[in-house]
Amino acid sequence: MTSNARGNLPPLSLHVPEPKFRPGDAVDYSHIAIPAAGAQARPDEGCVAAETHPLCLDMVRVLDEDHRAIGPWDPKLDADTLRRMLRTMALTRAFDDRMYRGQRQGKTSFYMKCTGEEATSVAPAMALADDDMVFPSYRQQGILISRGYPLVEMVNQIYSNRADKLKGRQLPIMYSARDYSFFTISGNLATQYPQAVGWAMASAIKGDSRIAATWIGEGSTAEGDFHAAMTFAAVYNAPVIFNVVNNQWAISSFSGFAGAERTTFAARAIGYGIAGIRVDGNDPLAVYAATRWAADRARSNGGPTLIEHFTYRAEGHSTSDDPGQYRSAQEREEWPLGDPIMRLKRHLIALGEWSDEQHDAMDRELMDHVKAATKEAEKNGILGHGLHHPFHTMFEDVFEELPWHLKEQSEQAIRERRIKWPEWKES
């Protein structure tokens, strides 16, 4: 390459982000500043957005090193609510483990776990109203589980069998549940952000009381949809909560490629003039408190809030990913913010409201519960075993009345299939 340097001017250089640890490296997280729990001020929900901006560079934390809930962000939840939160996170993890094994056994083509990130979906779901509309990404299965969506229906969708309510038209784990105020998951990153803003604006126009909440990973903040959504929300003061789950990795690209080397992701709220909070994403109480604060603010016409959940993706991006190829195996064990389930378990034990024996019994019960749901769903078929929706359904649900040319295509397709497989019967 020919140099175009002139005179005494130094040549320009391009910075390419590089993660601190690669496979085989020793891990040292001392560069991560972790503030003391309880040290962060809690502004009033009706404050001007600028009062929250110091929180964009800090980190809201509630659980301390002695497993106590301290400080102004302590939501002061009762023991029954804490146990329900713990159980839901544990159920989400048990479900993930079972579905991961199912994929490895060939029962489905694809699965994505949320191990280590359960608090970023379960705690917000509990802090929101059940009819608040959520626009999730593909790692928020904990929301559906929190809202009581049947596990059997989730497995049916993952297996794309004859009972799949989406009729096999979506990638496994991309659920849709309108009755549970759960918007269809999209594999196109960040599309849910402007959709959530549009829904929130419509709710405000109608004078409704419901708000919207949406989730993306930190890598998706580099998408144009993120910035379009932020602009509309800021301009129209939309009642929406923007959740950015910063789990450090976007598949094999570390968070620096989305801008993490420069500042926090919560700091993007500052540029748009909206409220922002950076929260310990492995502290379920802090996540709950931040979401409740943002929900109260939105519901009282205070406008949008951006919440960055600082967490870690403990396992691969999906069943198609091998994280051992691009990051140190020590990262998960050395992660300084711990595991959200263990942290809440220890908090309950410190309160005298839980025990190791109760936790072990709960885990066994949840594994049996997930196993039973899976067996029930398998009666409707698994991937590639012929128990699927009738062939003609692939032409339905787009038009209210099927046009003539699609009727012809449907009849031709069914006729050709019968010729090729005479033993086949349309159910």
Within-domain flag for 27 = no
Overall domain count for the chain: 2
Same domain? 374 vs 395: no
Asked whether residue 312 is domain-assigned, the answer is: yes
Domain that holds residue 410: 391-420
Cβ-based burial of 364 (10 A; exposed 0-12, middle 13-18, buried ≥19): exposed
Pair 409, 386: CB distance under 8 Å: no
The CATH number that applies at residue 347 is 3.40.50.970
Catalytic residue set: 313, 317, 326
> Does residue 194 lie within any of the structural domains?
yes
182: helix, strand or coil: strand
The β-bridge partners of 310 are: 246, 280
Counting as low any pLDDT under 70, the low residues of the chain are 1-5, 424-427
Cα(284)–Cα(345) distance, rounded to whole angstroms? 11
The reply to whether 31 falls in a domain is no
Residues 271 and 368 in one domain: yes
Looking up tokens 């990262």 gives 331
* 371 shares a domain with 416: no
pLDDT of residue 95: 98
Kindly state whether residues 261 and 235 are assigned to the same domain. yes
Instruction: Record the tokens describing residue 253, joined without a space.
Output: 């690209």
How far apart (Å, rounded) are the C-alpha atoms in residues 39 and 57? 13
The reported pLDDT for the residue numbered 6 is: 72
**Torsion from C-alpha of 86, 87, 88, 92, nearest 10 degrees:** 100
Residue 404 shares a structural domain with residue 373: no
Pair (341, 408) in one structural domain: no
CA distances from 231 to 116, 358, 389 (A): 31, 48, 42
Same domain, 401 and 366: no
Is the domain of 105 the same as that of 176? yes
**Which tokens hold the place of 325?**
């190829």
37 in any annotated domain: no
Residues 278 and 415 in one domain: no
- Beta-carbon contacts of 383 under 8 Å, excluding residues fewer than 6 positions away, are 106, 107, 108, 109, 159, 160, 161
Looking at the domain assignment, is residue 314 inside a domain? yes
397 in the same domain as 283: no
pLDDT in tens, 180-199: 999 999 989 999 999 999 99
pTM: 0.95
Claim to verify: residue 283 and residue 405 sit in the same structural domain: no
Residue 264 falls within a domain, yes or no?
A: yes
Residue 240 within a domain: yes
Same domain, 306 and 401: no
